[in-house]
Amino acid sequence: MKKFLLLILSLVMFVSIAACGNGDDNGDNGDNGDNGDNGDNGDNGDNGDNGDNGDNGDIEYGDYKPGLHLGYTDGHQNTYAYVYVDAEGYIVDIFIDTVYLKTDDEGPLTWEGRGGSEQTGYATTKMSLDGGCGYNMWPAQPVEDCTVEGEIMWHDQVRMVAEDIIDNQAIPSYDMDGDYFDEDGDDIIAGVSIRITNYVNAVQNALDIATLGANESPADFDVPSFTGTGSFEPGIHFGYTDGHQNTVAVVAVNADGFIEYITADTIYMKSDAEGPVTWVGRGGSEATGYATTKMSLDQGCGYNMWPAQPVEDCQVEGEIMWHDQVAMVMDAIIDNQGIPTFDIDGGYFDEDGDDIVAGVTIRVTHYIDAVANAID
């Protein structure tokens, strides 16, 4: 009987010890499991739901509205700038250019040049002269391979200003002496010797338009969406046609290689009795005015194809404004991610064609050519 009781007692002790041992092992794993409960903190990952404040709980936004924003200065031979802001509100690229009177004996314009001598030529932009390489600030020195020995070309200096603004995501408080960088200042761009006030002012005008309101977020704005990988190099690309009152185009490509925005503009001789330039107008009469761009006239609203009809709130009753028609063509190119095979008849959309943009009555060939030049 005693042996039987001892046997029973031994079995009970064995089972108790085994149970305790297994409990300790699982307990350690259970501690790891508790760390897994931090997966509950991972429910704080549902703060990613707070990320519904634009589904972007982890996204740090910039200060600007997504898009391609135009800014400009006013008057004769003005400067214009395009600022490209990405979907997260950051400046990713800036393009700056200036309207320019190019001397040419066969040109249709006449103006008083430096020293009071009469000049003849045509209206274009500095960047439309071989991508800026055709504008030489040192005419006594030859341009070879888009450089002048020992100098920094105008377009390279302008690009240095643009890149500094991109790096700062705003215009720095530059040290200025008149319209130039102060040589003795601390906040300047070394190597930039050109007058920069107009360039900075044009960019600032664009940034004023692009800056978010007090309760706005970049996520509040619609941005074109695409799938896959695009065919183009990211950034701003500039294209142009040649000659007097040429057309320019700016194409903005996103980080995935898709065309996100396109805009086009045309150099324009604006009539003004006080203007410094004369030319032969329609009907053979002499006209006086200044060189600018159509989009520099109140963002395009100041260019009216129907002068007998008033423009109210950037509209002419019963008509589609010039800049709206241009935008319609650009939208068709964006949708196609390239230039469609439009049906064209003498520079205009063929009314009987299938591949046209309904409602566009303006001549479109030069806008298409400028965009093609940019995306090539």
**Distance, CA of 287 to CA of 275 (rounded, Å):** 9
Please tell me the predicted confidence (pLDDT) of residue 54. 42
Q: Is 232 helix (H, G, I), strand (E, B) or coil?
A: coil
Q: Which two tokens stand for residue 74?
A: 């006013």
Q: Cβ distance 366 to 265 under 8 Å?
A: no
- DSSP assignment of 129-170: TGGGTT--S-TTS--BTTB-TTS--HHHHHHHHHHHHHHHTS
Q: What are the domain boundaries of the chain?
A: 67-375
Range scoring the smallest mean pLDDT among 35-44, 56-65, 358-367 = 35-44
3-state DSSP assignment of residue 107? coil
Q: Is the pLDDT of residue 1 over 60?
A: no
**Per-residue pLDDT reduced to its tens digit, 34-60:** 333 333 333 333 333 333 444 455 789
- The whole-model pTM stands at 0.84
Contact 343, 354 (CB under 8 A): yes
Q: Tens digit of pLDDT for each residue in 302-340? A: 999 999 999 999 999 999 999 999 999 999 999 999 999
Point out the least confidently predicted range of 36-50, 73-87, 111-125.
36-50
For 114-129, what is the mean pLDDT? 95
Report pLDDT digits (tens) over 241-298: 999 999 999 999 999 999 999 999 999 999 999 999 999 988 889 999 999 999 999 9
**Cα distance between residue 247 and residue 367, in whole Å:** 6
What integer pLDDT is reported at residue 114 of this predicted model?
84
- Report the chain's C-alpha Rg in angstroms: 32
How confident is the model at residue 271, as a pLDDT? 96
| Sign of the C-alpha dihedral computed for residues 252, 258, 259 and 261 taken in this order | negative
Query: Mean pLDDT across the stretch 162-166?
Result: 98
pLDDT, tens digit, 9 for 90 and up, residues 169-205? 999 999 999 999 999 999 999 999 999 999 999 999 9
Q: How many residues does the chain have?
A: 376
Section 74-82 average pLDDT: 98
pLDDT of amino acid 282: 82
For residue 368, pLDDT over 90 is answered with yes
Q: What is the pLDDT of residue 371?
A: 98
pLDDT in tens, 4-33: 433 343 433 433 434 444 433 333 333 333
Mean pLDDT for 83-108 is: 98
Instruction: Give dist(CA 316, CA 362) in Å, integer.
Output: 15
Q: For the chain, where are the alpha helices, taking DSSP H only?
A: 2-41, 47-50, 154-168, 197-210, 322-336, 365-375
Supply the pLDDT for residue 283. Answer: 84
Residue 70: pLDDT above 80? yes
